[in-house]
C-alpha cells in the first residue's frame, strides 16, 4: 500500500502543529539543562551551583527558544506543504491511471466538458467586452462620463445623447466639476478621393481636446491639439485609425505628412491611433478629423452657434474631487437654460442631464439589445456547462461504483474520509483540467469567429489571449470540478465497508442507479429548455426575415451620392441623375431604375404639409405623413404592390401633374371608410387639389420592425415638390446583387472626375444590422441547443450502456428463462424512457416559466408556441431513442450461458 | 574563562556536529558533551549555538530528529545524519583537511624563513 511509505510515516509521527513545535523546543532545552545539572552535581557541585552553571553554559535560554522555534516552525510548515503536494500528486496519478482504463468514455466526457467550458469562456469574452470593459486605451475610464439628456414626452421618459454644439460651449463655460469636456460625432461614411477611384471611409469628427480627454496616446505622430480645432475654421489635419493605416499605407511611417482627400477636401495626416482603438462606441473608425475642419461642409456654415444640428455626443472628464451627482446637477442647470430657450414640446422643466459610464453598451435606459442577447446566451452557455458536468458526474459515479470494493478496502485500512473525498475529487479535477485545456484550444480557434459573425459591427479588442477570460475559464473549470465531483464523492462516502467488501463486480441493488438517472433527467430537462429557446428564437427570426416590407430586399439596391456637399449645383445634380439612370439601365442584370426625391426608403425622410379637404389633420403614429417624389416605375422597381388604383405614367413624370399615390397607412388615416381613389388632397406648398390615383403597400422606411410610416408620393413634376433634389436611385436587379454593385458604382463615378464615392447597398444589407439581435439569438440558441442535445445523448448512452453491462447477468437469466429479444429491448427502453419523459415534463415546465423573460427577444411568436414545445419534445425523444437503442440491442446479444457463468 | 579556549571558525561547528553524529543518533546534550571532552575542553561551544546549528542542519535536511528515550529513561530528541548529511560530512571533511594542510604549509614555510 502506498500509504505505508517510511518517510511519510516518520513525518506523520512528527510534531507538525504550531503548539507541538513550541512544546518540543521547550522540552529539548529543559532536558539539556537538567542533564548537565546532574552531570555537574556528580562532579561535586551543589544543586544550586550546578543548575546556575548549566544555565550559564547554555547561554540566553529565552533567545535560544525563540530562534529554535522559528526555525522549526518554518520547517514544519514546509513539510506540511510537501506532504499535501505529495498526496495531491499521488491522488492525481491514481486518478489518471484509473480514468485511462476507459479511454473512449474519458475522451467523450472531456470533449463535452471542454465544449461547455469553451462556450462559457467565449460568451464571457463577449459579455466582458460589451458590458464590463471600458473602451480600449482610455486612461482613467471611471472618471470619463458620457452625457445623456433625460426628457419627458407625454409622461414618458426619453433618453438621448445627441445635442447641438452650443450646449458644449455652454457646459465648458458654466461647470466646474469637469476638467475637460469634448464632443464627437457618430462615425459616418465619407468619400475618400473623387471620380472613378473614389472609396468610402468611416470618419468621426471630434473636438480638439477629445484625444487628450480620453488619455489615449498615438502610436505614430501626434493627436489633435486644441489649436487644430478652432471655431469656426480649424486646421485640415487628420488622424488615421490603425487598421486604415495598415490597409491604405501598409503601415508605412512615411504616411505622416502625406495628404488624403475626404469629401473633396484635402487633409494632412498628422498621426495614427493605437491598434484596437475604436473610440467610445467600439465602431470601426478610419479617420478622425477636427470638428471645425469639416463642419462647414458636413453641417453647414454657422454650425457652431446654431441649434439646428443635433450631432454632438459629449463626454466629460470629472475632476478627481468632483462627485458625479454634483457634476450632473451643475450640467442640468446649464441644460435647462437651453430647454427654456428652445421651448419645444419634447422638453420641460424636469429635463435633466445624466452622467453615464462610457462602457459602450450601457446607457441610462439600461443595456442595449445586443448586450441583452449576449447576457441570455451567457446564461445558456452555463446550462450547456451544467449538462456537460452531469456527464462527468455520471462517468465518475460509474467509476466509483465499480471501485466500491477497493474503496471499502481502503476504508477498512483506515483511510480518512477526507482523504477519500480528495481522491474522488482528484478525478473530477483531472477531467476538469483536461477539459479546460481543450476548451482553451476551442476558445482560441472559435472566439474571434463567434465575435465577428455574431456582432460584426463591433470593433473587438484584438488581443486573443486575455487574462480576464483566462481567469474566468479557470474559475469555470474549478466550478465544473466541484459540480461534477460532489455526487461521486457522496456516493463514495456512503460506501459501507462490510457491504463493499462483500459486493461482487455485479451491481445488484436497483437504487444505486437512481442518482445517475436523476442526472439524465436533469440533462433532458435542461436540453428541452435550450431546444425550446432555440425553437422560439429561430421562429421569430424567420418571422422577422420573411416580414413583408414593401421592398424586395435581395433584389433592390439603394444608390446614394452626397452631391450637394461636394459642391454640385442643381442643374448638374439633375444631369448626373438623368445620365446615371440611363447608364445604369444599360448594365446587364439591371431590370428597373427609379429615382426618389425627399423621402428614400432607409435613407432620407422629409415631411411637409398634407391635407384632405373636409378631414381634420391626423396625428399619425410615427409622424408625417412623409412626402416623396418618385419617377414612374418606382413601385415596380422596389417591388411594392399597388393595392388599388394605378402607378404614375411617364407622361405625368414629365409634365406638371397633380396626381398622388398614398400608402395604406395614409389611406386608413384619412379615408377610413372609403376608397381614396379619385379623392382630392393638397400636397406640400401646392394650394390646388391633387387627385389620388393609387394606394400602395406600406414601404419600409427606417426600421424593419413595427415601424410603418405614412407616406404620400407625387411625381417629380408635381408643383408641391418644389425644387427638391433627387436623393437616391433605386435599382432592381435580376442577377446576383454582389456582382452588379461594383458595376453600378463604376458607371456613376465615371460621370465626372469630381464625383464622390457612390454608396450602393442592397436593402438586405441595410436591414441586416436590425436583424442582428434576432440572428444572434437564433444562431446561438440553435447552436447551444444542438450541443446540449448531443451532450445529453452521450450522457444517456453512457448511463444505459453501463446499466446494461451491470445487468448482463439478470438479462442472461431472463433470456435463459425464455424472454424474447423484444422483451429485453423493452426492458432497457423502459428504463431510459422513464428518465427522459420525466425530464421532458420538467424541462417543459421550466421552459414555460423561463420563456416569459425571453418575450422581448421574440417577434410575433408566442413564448408558449405549442409547435415549438412539441418540436423540442420530439427532437429530444428521437435523440433519446438513438442513445438507448444501441445499448439495448447490445444487451440482446448477451449469451445467457456465458452471462450466468460469469458470476 | 580560559583565554586559550578556541573560538570556532565559521561553519566549523556544523562540521563538528555532523562528525559527532557519524557514529549514530545522539541527543544534543550528548553532542555537547562529546565535543567538550574530545577536544579536552579546548573548544568552547555555547550550548545555544550548538542547538541553533542542529536545528538549522535539520532544516537543511542534513540531519533528522526523532524523540527517543535517554540512558536514564527520559524523553530526549535524538539527531541522526541523513544520506544528504553523510555526503556533506564527507565533502566538508575533505575540504577542511585540504584547508588546514594549506594553512600549515604556509605557517611552516614562514617559520623557516624567520629562523
What is the rounded distance in angstroms from the CA atom of residue A760 to the CA atom of residue A744? Answer: 8
A63 chain-B contacts, CB cut-off 8 A: 48
A316: nearest Cα among A306, A307, A324, A308: A324
Q: Does B74 touch chain A (CB under 8 A)?
A: yes
| Separation CA A806–CA A821 (nearest Å) | 18
User: Does residue A10 sit at the B interface (CB-CB below 8 Å)?
Assistant: yes
Query: Which pLDDT value is given to residue A55?
Result: 92
Of A28, A39, A64, the CB nearest to B77: A28
- The nearest alpha carbon in chain B to A75 belongs to B59
CA distances, A285 to each of A186, A623, B11 (Å): 10, 33, 70
User: In B, which residues are within 8 Å of A27 by CB distance?
Assistant: 75, 77
Query: Which residues in chain B are closer than 8 Å to A53, comparing Cβ atoms?
Result: none
Torsion of CA A199, A200, A205, A211, to 10 degrees: -80
A27/B47 Cβ within 8 A: no
CB-closest option in B29, B52, B58 to A35: B29
Please name the helix (run of DSSP H) or strand (run of DSSP E) that holds residue A682, with its range, or none: strand A680-683
Q: What is the pLDDT of residues A532-585, one digit of tens each?
A: 989 998 998 888 888 778 888 889 999 998 888 788 889 999 999 999 999 999
Instruction: Give the integer Cα–Cα distance in Å for B6 and A551.
Output: 108
Considering CB atoms only, which of A32, A35, A71 is closest to B59? A71
User: CB-based contact (8 Å) between B56 and chain A?
Assistant: yes
Helix (H) or strand (E) holding A739: helix A737-749
CA distance A430 to chain B (A): 33
Q: B37: burial class by Cβ within 10 Å (0-12, 13-18, 19+)?
A: exposed
The partner residues of A713 in beta bridges, in order of sequence, read A628, A661
| A58·B52 Cβ contact <8 A | no
Q: Which A residues in the span 22-81 are in contact with B, Cβ-Cβ below 8 Å?
A: 24, 27-29, 31-32, 34-36, 39, 57-61, 63-64, 67-68, 71-72, 74-75
The backbone region for A820, taken as left when phi is positive above 0, alpha when psi lies in -120 to 50, beta otherwise, is beta
Nearest to B56 among A34, A60, A71 (CB): A71
- Asked if residue A273 lies in contact with residue A219, where contact means CB atoms within 8 angstroms, the answer is yes
Contact A75 B59 (CB under 8 A): yes
- Kindly report the backbone phi and psi dihedral angles of residue A145, in degrees, each rounded to the nearest multiple of 5, phi listed first: -120, 145
What distance in Å separates the CA atoms of residue A677 and residue A694, rounded to the nearest whole number? Answer: 6
For B61, the closest chain A residue by CA position comes to: A75
Distance from CA of A31 to the nearest CA of B (A): 7
- Interface ipTM: 0.88
pLDDT digits (tens, 9 = 90+) for B58-70: 999 999 999 988 8
The Cα–Cα gap between A833 and A810 comes to 20
Closest residue in A to B60 (Cα–Cα)? A75
Give pLDDT, residue B1. Answer: 39
| pTM for the structure as a whole | 0.71
Write down the mean pLDDT value for chain B: 83
Q: Does B46 touch chain A (CB under 8 A)?
A: yes
Residues of chain B with pLDDT below 70 are: 1-10, 110-115
Rounded to whole angstroms, the Cα distance separating A595 from A632 reads 9
A547 and A587 in contact (C-beta within 8 Å)?
no
Q: Which residues contact B57 (CB under 8 A, 6 or more apart)?
A: B14, B17, B18, B63, B79, B85
Which residue of chain A has the CA closest to B52? A68
Counting as low any pLDDT under 50, the low residues of chain A are 1-13, 505-511
- Beta-carbon separation of A31 and B58 below 8 A: no
DSSP letters spanning A364-433 = TTEE-HHHHHHHHHHHHHHHHHHHHHHHHHHHHHHHHHHTHHHHHHHHHTT--HHHHHHHHHHHHHHHHH
Residue A559 sits at the vertex; the CA angle it makes with A555 and A560, to the nearest 5 degrees, is 155
The pLDDT score that the predictor gives to residue B3 is 40
**Across the interface, which of B28, B55, B64 has its CB nearest the CB of A71?**
B55
**Structure confidence by residue, pLDDT tens digits, B3-23:** 444 556 667 888 889 999 998
| CB pair distance less than 8 Å for A74 and B59 | yes
Q: Do A24 and B77 touch (CB under 8 A)?
A: yes
CA A696, A702, A707, A711 torsion-angle sign: negative
Between CA A95 and CA A110 the distance in angstroms is 14
- Say how many CB pairs under 8 Å bridge A and B: 66
pLDDT of amino acid A463: 59
Amino acid at each position: 500500500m502506498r500509504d505505508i511509505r517510511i518517510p511519510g510515516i516518520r513525518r506523520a509521527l512528527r510534531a507538525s502543529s504550531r503548539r507541538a513545535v513550541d512544546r518540543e523546543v521547550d522540552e529539548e532545552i529543559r532536558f539539556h539543562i537538567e542533564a548537565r545539572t546532574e552531570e555537574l552535581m556528580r562532579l561535586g557541585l551543589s544543586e544550586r551551583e550546578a543548575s546556575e552553571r548549566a544555565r550559564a553554559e547554555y547561554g540566553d535560554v529565552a533567545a535560544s527558544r525563540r530562534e529554535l522555534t522559528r526555525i522549526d516552525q518554518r520547517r514544519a510548515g514546509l513539510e506540511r506543504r510537501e506532504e499535501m503536494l505529495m498526496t495531491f500528486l499521488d491522488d492525481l496519478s491514481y486518478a489518471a491511471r484509473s480514468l485511462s482504463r476507459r479511454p473512449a468514455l474519458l475522451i467523450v466526457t472531456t470533449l463535452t466538458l471542454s465544449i461547455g467550458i469553451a462556450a462559457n469562456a467565449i460568451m464571457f469574452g463577449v459579455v466582458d467586452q460589451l458590458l464590463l470593459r471600458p473602451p480600449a486605451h482610455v486612461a482613467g475610464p471611471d472618471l470619463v462620463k458620457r452625457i445623456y439628456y433625460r426628457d419627458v414626452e407625454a409622461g414618458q421618459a426619453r433618453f438621448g445623447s445627441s445635442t447641438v454644439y452650443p450646449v458644449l460651449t455652454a457646459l465648458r463655460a458654466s461647470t466646474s466639476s469637469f476638467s475637460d469636456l469634448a464632443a464627437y460625432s457618430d462615425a459616418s461614411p465619407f468619400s475618400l478621393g473623387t471620380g472613378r477611384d473614389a472609396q468610402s471611409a468611416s470618419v468621426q469628427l471630434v473636438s480638439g481636446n477629445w484625444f487628450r480627454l480620453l488619455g489615449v496616446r498615438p502610436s505614430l505622430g501626434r493627436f489633435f491639439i486644441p489649436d487644430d480645432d478652432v471655431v469656426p475654421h480649424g486646421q485640415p489635419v487628420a488622424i488615421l485609425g490603425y487598421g486604415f493605416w495598415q490597409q491604405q499605407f501598409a503601415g508605412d511611417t512615411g504616411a505622416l505628412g502625406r495628404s488624403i482627400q475626404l469629401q473633396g477636401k484635402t487633409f494632412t495626416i498628422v498621426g495614427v491611433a493605437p491598434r484596437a482603438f475604436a473610440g467610445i462606441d467600439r465602431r470601426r473608425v478610419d479617420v478622425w478629423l477636427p470638428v471645425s475642419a469639416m463642419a462647414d461642409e458636413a453641417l453647414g456654415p454657422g454650425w457652431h452657434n446654431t441649434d439646428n444640428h443635433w450631432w454632438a455626443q459629449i463626454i466629460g472628464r470629472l475632476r478627481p474631487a468632483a462627485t458625479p451627482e454634483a457634476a450632473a446637477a451643475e450640467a442640468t442647470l446649464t441644460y435647462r437654460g437651453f430647454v427654456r430657450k428652445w421651448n419645444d414640446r419634447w422638453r420641460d422643466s424636469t429635463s435633466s442631464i445624466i452622467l453615464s459610464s462610457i462602457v459602450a453598451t450601457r446607457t441610462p435606459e439600461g443595456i442595449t439589445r445586443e448586450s441583452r442577447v449576449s447576457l441570455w446566451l451567457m446564461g445558456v452557455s452555463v446550462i450547456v456547462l451544467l449538462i456537460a458536468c452531469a456527464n462527468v458526474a455520471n462517468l465518475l459515479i460509474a467509476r466509483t461504483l465499480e471501485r466500491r470494493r477497493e474503496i471499502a478496502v481502503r476504508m477498512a485500512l483506515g483511510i480518512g474520509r477526507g482523504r477519500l473525498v480528495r481522491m474522488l475529487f482528484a478525478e473530477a479535477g483531472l477531467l476538469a483540467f483536461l477539459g479546460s485545456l481543450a476548451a482553451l484550444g476551442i476558445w482560441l480557434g472559435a472566439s474571434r469567429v463567434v465575435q465577428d459573425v455574431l456582432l460584426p459591427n463591433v470593433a473587438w479588442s484584438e488581443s486573443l489571449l486575455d487574462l480576464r477570460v483566462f481567469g474566468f475559464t479557470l474559475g469555470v473549470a474549478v466550478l465544473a470540478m466541484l459540480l461534477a465531483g460532489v455526487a461521486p464523492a457522496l456516493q463514495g462516502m456512503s460506501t459501507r465497508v462490510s457491504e463493499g467488501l462483500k459486493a461482487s463486480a455485479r451491481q445488484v441493488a436497483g437504487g444505486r442507479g437512481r442518482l445517475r438517472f436523476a442526472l439524465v433527467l436533469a440533462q433532458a430537462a435542461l436540453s428541452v429548455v435550450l431546444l425550446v429557446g432555440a425553437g422560439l428564437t429561430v421562429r421569430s427570426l424567420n418571422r422577422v426575415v420573411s416580414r413583408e416590407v414593401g421592398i424586395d430586399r435581395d433584389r433592390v439596391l439603394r444608390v446614394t451620392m452626397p452631391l450637394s456637399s461636394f459642391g454640385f449645383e442643381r442643374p448638374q445634380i439633375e444631369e448626373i441623375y438623368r445620365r446615371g439612370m440611363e447608364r445604369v439601365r444599360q448594365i446587364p442584370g439591371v431590370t428597373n431604375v427609379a429615382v426618389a426625391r425627399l423621402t428614400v426608403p432607409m435613407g432620407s425622410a422629409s415631411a411637409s404639409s398634407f391635407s384632405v379637404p373636409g378631414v381634420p389633420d391626423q396625428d399619425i403614429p410615427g409622424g408625417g405623413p412623409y412626402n416623396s417624389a418618385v419617377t414612374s416605375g418606382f413601385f415596380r422597381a422596389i417591388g411594392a404592390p399597388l393595392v388599388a388604383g394605378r402607378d404614375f405614367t411617364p407622361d405625368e413624370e414629365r409634365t406638371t401633374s397633380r396626381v398622388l399615390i398614398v400608402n395604406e397607412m395614409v389611406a386608413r388615416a384619412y379615408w377610413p371608410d372609403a376608397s381614396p381613389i379619385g379623392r382630392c388632397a393638397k400636397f406640400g406648398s401646392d394650394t390646388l387639389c391633387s387627385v389620388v390615383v393609387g394606394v400602395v403597400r406600406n414601404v419600409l422606411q427606417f426600421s424593419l420592425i413595427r415601424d410603418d410610416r405614412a407616406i404620400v408620393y407625387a411625381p417629380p413634376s408635381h408643383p408641391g415638390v418644389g425644387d427638391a433634389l433627387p436623393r437616391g436611385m433605386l435599382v432592381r436587379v435580376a442577377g446576383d446583387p454582389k456582382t452588379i454593385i461594383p458595376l453600378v458604382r463604376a458607371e456613376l463615378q465615371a460621370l465626372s472626375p469630381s464625383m464622390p464615392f457612390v454608396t450602393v447597398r442592397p436593402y438586405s444589407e441595410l436591414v441586416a444590422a436590425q436583424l442582428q439581435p434576432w440572428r444572434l439569438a437564433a444562431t446561438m440558441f440553435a447552436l447551444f441547443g444542438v450541443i446540449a442535445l448531443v451532450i445529453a445523448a452521450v450522457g444517456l448512452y453512457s448511463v444505459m450502456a453501463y446499466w446494461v453491462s451491470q445487468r448482463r447477468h439478470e438479462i442472461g437469466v431472463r433470456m435463459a428463462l425464455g424472454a424474447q429479444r423484444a422483451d429485453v429491448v423493452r426492458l432497457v427502453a423502459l428504463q431510459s424512457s422513464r428518465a427522459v419523459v420525466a425530464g421532458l415534463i420538467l424541462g417543459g415546465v421550466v421552459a414555460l416559466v423561463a420563456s416569459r423573460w425571453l418575450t422581448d427577444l421574440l417577434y410575433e411568436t408566442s413564448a408558449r408556441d405549442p409547435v415549438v414545445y412539441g418540436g423540442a419534445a420530439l427532437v429530444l425523444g428521437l435523440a433519446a431513442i438513438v442513445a438507448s437503442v444501441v445499448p439495448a440491442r447490445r444487451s440482446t446479444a448477451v449469451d445467457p450461458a456465458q452471462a450466468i457463468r460469469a458470476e | 574563562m580560559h583565554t586559550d579556549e578556541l573560538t570556532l571558525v565559521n561553519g566549523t561547528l556544523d562540521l563538528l556536529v555532523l562528525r559527532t553524529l557519524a557514529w549514530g543518533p545522539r541527543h544534543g546534550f550528548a553532542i555537547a558533551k562529546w565535543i567538550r571532552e574530545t577536544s579536552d575542553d579546548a573548544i568552547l561551544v555555547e550550548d545555544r549555538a550548538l542547538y541553533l546549528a542542529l536545528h538549522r542542519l535539520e532544516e537543511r535536511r542534513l540531519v533528522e530528529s526523532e524523540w527517543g528515550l535517554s540512558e536514564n529513561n527520559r524523553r530526549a530528541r535524538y539527531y541522526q545524519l541523513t544520506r544528504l548529511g553523510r555526503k556533506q560530512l564527507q565533502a566538508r571533511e575533505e575540504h577542511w583537511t585540504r584547508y588546514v594542510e594549506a594553512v600549515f604549509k604556509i605557517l611552516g614555510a614562514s617559520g623557516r624563513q624567520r629562523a
